Amino acid sequence: MLILKVCIIVAQTANKKTFNMVELNQLLLEFESNLTWEAVTKEWKELRDSWVSKVQAAVEPSQLAEYLIELESDIQWEAVQNYWKLCRESWVEDCHSASTLEEVSSLLLELESNTTWEVLSDEWQEIRENWVQQVYEFNDE
């Protein structure tokens, strides 16, 4: 009976992780979709569809962290705060070592908070508070 209970708990935990992974994937996609074309390189227009597919299919936090780096690498310098130039290198290192949803969600928030308002859609200002709250929920788990 004890083994059965352990198996059920492990299965529930795995299902919760999968659900949370899908949720965080969607939050990353939502942020990216609110970046204007002025925010990203010309190359991003060609890479975007493939990137979206990879993000949707990601099943491990480490994969999502790598896709976060891919997005950030195609964001123009003019689209981020000056501070980003100082902290970017350590942020990329943190992405490479990220292995939990909590770490990836924090890294996503860090990138978003260093992105200037001018390169985000008008709608972003309306939805941002709810988006940030949803991303923060990963830090409560």
CA atoms within 13 A on the CB side of 81: 12
**Domain count of the chain?**
1
Q: Which domain holds residue 91?
A: 2-140
Is the sign of the CA dihedral 99, 102, 108, 110 positive or negative?
A: negative
Yes or no: say if 84 and 72 are a contact pair by the CB < 8 Å rule.
Answer: no
Q: What's the pLDDT score for residue 139? A: 77
Q: What is the pTM of this model?
A: 0.85
Yes or no: say if 138 and 98 are a contact pair by the CB < 8 Å rule.
Answer: no
Q: How far is 98 from 96, CA to CA, in rounded Å?
A: 6
Q: What's the pLDDT score for residue 141? A: 53
pLDDT tens per residue across all 141 residues of the chain: 444 343 333 333 444 445 588 999 999 999 999 999 999 999 999 999 999 999 999 999 999 999 999 999 999 999 999 999 999 999 999 999 999 999 999 999 999 999 999 999 999 999 999 999 999 888 765
Q: What's the pLDDT score for residue 3? A: 46
Other C-beta atoms lying within 10 Å of the C-beta of residue 63: 16
